[in-house]
Structure 1
Amino acid sequence: MKLKYFLIGVFTISLLVSCKSKKKLAEKAENIRKEMVIKSSKDTLSNSISNTTAGNSTIKNTTLAYIETFKDAAMNEMRVYEIPASITLAQGILESSSGNSQLTKNSNNHFGIKCHKGWEGGKIYHDDDEKGECFRVYDDPANSFRDHSLFLTSRSRYSKLFKFKKGDYVKWAKGLSEAGYATDRRYPAKLIALIEKYDLHKYDTEVLGKPFEIVPDANTFNHIVIKGDTLYSISRKYGLSVDELKKLNGLNSNDISIGQTLILSE
């Protein structure tokens, strides 16, 4: 009988030790799993940051390549439809992130043109102003450039743009915004900044057969104050708010003077 109780006691102790060992092993395994999850998350974040940085660098480095690739298409559209090549290129750079946006890569859509009523071509759905919006798909980038021209020339709200002096990219940039091409209030300033940074207006002058003149301080989009200018009128002209204009120029008041140079883009 004593032997029986002794064996039961040994078995119980062994069972308790075994349970504790299993519990420790389980805890250790769980800790290892958590460490792996944390490490995986850090690696994912690191890769995300690395990819984002690389992506920004790629976009910056490929803008010139984008211009070189599509300048002839933009000039050809200007010859046929009288849309400044500089505007077409600037819109393409801005809307497609120099050809690097996922929408552009997946659809050859360089101008963010949505399906709209009556579109019978290919479609792709992409989050923009709203989730899952319908965008046009093209077999070739050249078709996107042509459809951009047709889009602007076939809609009455853009008709006044074709009355501007040929090659007047400043009025075109402002006119596109006023006609509702984009919801970003700074759209005109962004387009003009791109045009003057990369001298895109030289393609306008080439089409028009005029001599090209480099814009001073082409890397920064500026406005020189003239008589009658106010911060409000200047902000309205370039699609900025008064506060944005003041912040860009470090102004503490609304006072400006004739001849003063105001920066309009970072």
Structure 2
Amino acid sequence: MIKKILLFLIVAVLASCSSSKPAIATTKKQAAVQKPRTVAAKKESPVKPIGKNYPSTNNTTEVIQSTSKTVVNSSSINDYVLQYKDIAMGNMQKYGIPASIILAQGILESGAGKGDLAVSANNHFGIKCHKDWLGESVRHDDDAEQECFRKYREASESYRDHALFLVGKNRYASLFTYEKDDYRAWAKGLRACGYATDPNYPDKLISYIERYNLHQYDCQITGKTYVAINKSAPARKPSYDVASDPKINMSSNDPNLYEVQKGDTLYSISKKFNILVDDIKQKNNLSDNALSVGQKLKVK
């Protein structure tokens, strides 16, 4: 009886051992099946760059070399012009410097606002300290190492100082004998007066003016009709028509008269009608810039 019991236990143990082996074999087979999946995932990874976005070929890049070497694209230059055109036109009206020249110099000297001096010192025209400068300064390598350049709190101060610099220096007096909108004469004159040592400086300025239609801003001040030179990039047309815009309150009795509205200034009116502030004052016998709401002004 004991032998039968022992024999039964031995058979049971053997049966148990044999039943566990398939489970181990199955685990190994599953592991073997999973390996190819891991390898397949690794092979798929190089496919990712197919979705990469490449820059548009229309937005061309160029290197601007002035006080620093700066790589910019045409979109950056257009943005720069839109940001500072009003300041340039204001300076043209006040100081007699062509807005096109101001903007072209700003583009060239500041690398369209992205050059080292423009970023670190808000200096958009590469103006050095000189003996009469009492403001802040920075050091920057140019014709010599670590030269002193003017530093401004904001870019608009640089634009104003540029105008005062040209107006206040006797060496630039000959520039103001040229027509206010003769950008070619001004570009060549700046080089002749010693503003820059680069012999190609005038050609660079003229190139920016004609490629980016900067002369249109001169015409907005002088009241002359602008004709785009660069046919591939036409001048931006005004977003309004003086004759049909209901915001512009022309007198019903006389179409040559404009009725002053709240918030108007002589400068804003001059821009609406493409007329000089001085011409408005002369037409209306104004001795100063004061205006009153409801006042009628001759603008044609």
- TM-score, normalization by structure 2: 0.53
Task: Measure, in 2, the Cα distance between the counterparts of 1:182 and 1:54.
Answer: 20
1:84-113 deviation line (CA, Å, top 9, x unaligned): 000000000000000000111000000000
Instruction: Give the letter for the 1:197 counterpart.
Output: R
Q: Partner of 1:196 in structure 2?
A: 210
RCO greater where, 1 or 2, for CA within 8 Å and sep 6 or more? 1
Are the aligned partners of 1:198 and 1:218 in contact in 2 as well (CA < 8 Å)? Answer: no
Aligned to 2:137, the other structure's residue is in SS state strand
Q: Partner of 2:165 in structure 1?
A: 151
Q: Partner of 2:145 in structure 1?
A: 131
Q: Which runs of 4+ in 1 moved over 2 A?
A: 53-61, 216-219
Count of residues paired in the alignment:
167
Say which of 209, 222, 230 aligns to 2:223: 209
Say which of 69, 91, 104 aligns to 2:83: 69
Shift of 1:61: 2.6
Structure 1 segment 224-263 matched on structure 2, within 5 A: none
Are the aligned partners of 2:113 and 2:119 in contact in 1 as well (CA < 8 Å)? Answer: yes
Instruction: Give the letter for the 1:159 counterpart.
Output: A
Shift of 1:218: 7.4
Unaligned runs of 5+ in 1: 1-52, 220-266
Structure 1 segment 1-266 matched on structure 2, within 5 A: 58-215=72-229
Are the aligned partners of 2:211 and 2:230 in contact in 1 as well (CA < 8 Å)? Answer: no
Task: Measure, in 2, the Cα distance between the counterparts of 1:188 and 1:210.
Answer: 23
Task: Measure, in 2, the Cα distance between the counterparts of 1:131 and 1:81.
Answer: 33
Task: Measure, in 2, the Cα distance between the counterparts of 1:54 and 1:111.
Answer: 19
Shift of 1:59: 4.1
Q: 1:58 to 1:94 in 2, by over 3 A?
A: closer
Rg: which structure is higher? 2
Task: Measure, in 2, the Cα distance between the counterparts of 1:71 and 1:152.
Answer: 19
Instruction: Give the letter for the 1:98 counterpart.
Output: A
Task: Measure, in 1, the Cα distance between the counterparts of 2:150 and 2:85.
Answer: 22
RMSD of aligned C-alpha atoms? 1.9
- TM-score, normalization by structure 1: 0.60
Shift of 1:58: 4.3
Q: Which has the higher helix share?
A: 1
Q: 1:130 to 1:59 in 2, by over 3 A?
A: farther
Are the aligned partners of 1:196 and 1:218 in contact in 2 as well (CA < 8 Å)? Answer: no
Unaligned runs of 5+ in 2: 1-60, 64-69, 234-300
1:127-169 deviation line (CA, Å, top 9, x unaligned): 0011000000000111000000000000111111111112000
Instruction: Give the letter for the 2:197 counterpart.
Output: T
Instruction: Give the letter for the 2:130 counterpart.
Output: H
